[in-house]
Amino acid sequence: VRCEAVTVDVTPSGDQRESIVLTAAPAAAGQARAWLTAVAASLIERARCQDLELVVSEIVTNSIRHGRPGGEI
């Protein structure tokens, strides 16, 4: 099964929700990390945020590598 588009939703507290849709391009991993840091920095300690940045980078990079170029991730 190939997933062409993924929307990431984060619910920091209550009913607030943050999401991002990226274009499958080399800049997407950096954009995802920057977005995650902006959303999570006030919610978790810096070391855990760095762990999440690594995980998000891997997920986005894999979706670019194995997905449709130029599609949404």
Q: Is the pLDDT of residue 4 over 80?
A: no
Beta-carbon contacts of 56 under 8 Å, excluding residues fewer than 6 positions away, are 8, 29, 32, 33, 36
Tens of pLDDT, residues 10-64: 555 566 778 889 998 889 999 999 999 888 888 888 888 899 999 999 999 999 8
- Stretch 62-67: mean pLDDT: 89
In the prediction, which pLDDT does 60 show? Answer: 93
